[in-house]
Structure 1
Amino acid sequence: MEKSIDMKTIERLEKKEEQLRKKALNEKATEIARKRYDLFIKHGGDPKQYYTKLGLDGQGPAVKLRHDPRFLDYLAFSKHWGKKRDILSPA
């Protein structure tokens, strides 16, 4: 008697595999972004300079930019910068 795997199970496994692959790539991308942020901070960068570097000046209110990948990168940098500043500043 042969066990047969139905198509739904196969599709579910394929989706799970795809999610895991995306997660691994996302983790790698996050690691690379953190290194890039650290380098920018090391050279005296702050969120205002990063905002300008990304070319977001003059783009209008942030509400219009909320889906722009550059703006999302800026938000991630600002969060990272805040954590680094808290760690490095004397209490």
Structure 2
Amino acid sequence: MSLSILYKEDDNGYLALSYEPFLQKTIMHIEFKKWNLQECRRYRELWVVIKKCLKEKGITELYSLCDSDKEVKFNKFWGFKDTGYKAQTDSGIKFILKLEL
């Protein structure tokens, strides 16, 4: 899997996209280490800009594959909604969430 990094902070994490052939969908990958109210506000502001850029590139939907209820909750913070579906991957069963831009 090849990640296309959209945003990165060297000491904190990244936001990236990949294309998953088994789903034929674009998947978002997020990993940020710092979580507090101030950082969440900053992430929300950043997310507005990133979504606008994605729309301008013709991307209308993103998916996220989550291992746990905690990851589902984290992805809902970004606006993803549970599809009610699961996918079997090499690393196990994943909850599939979707975001329409």
Query: TM-score, normalised on structure 1?
Result: 0.29
Instruction: Choose between structure 1 and 2: higher strand proportion.
Output: 2
Instruction: Choose between structure 1 and 2: higher helix proportion.
Output: 1
Bigger relative CO (Cα 8 Å, ≥ 6 apart): 1
Larger Cα-atom Rg? 1
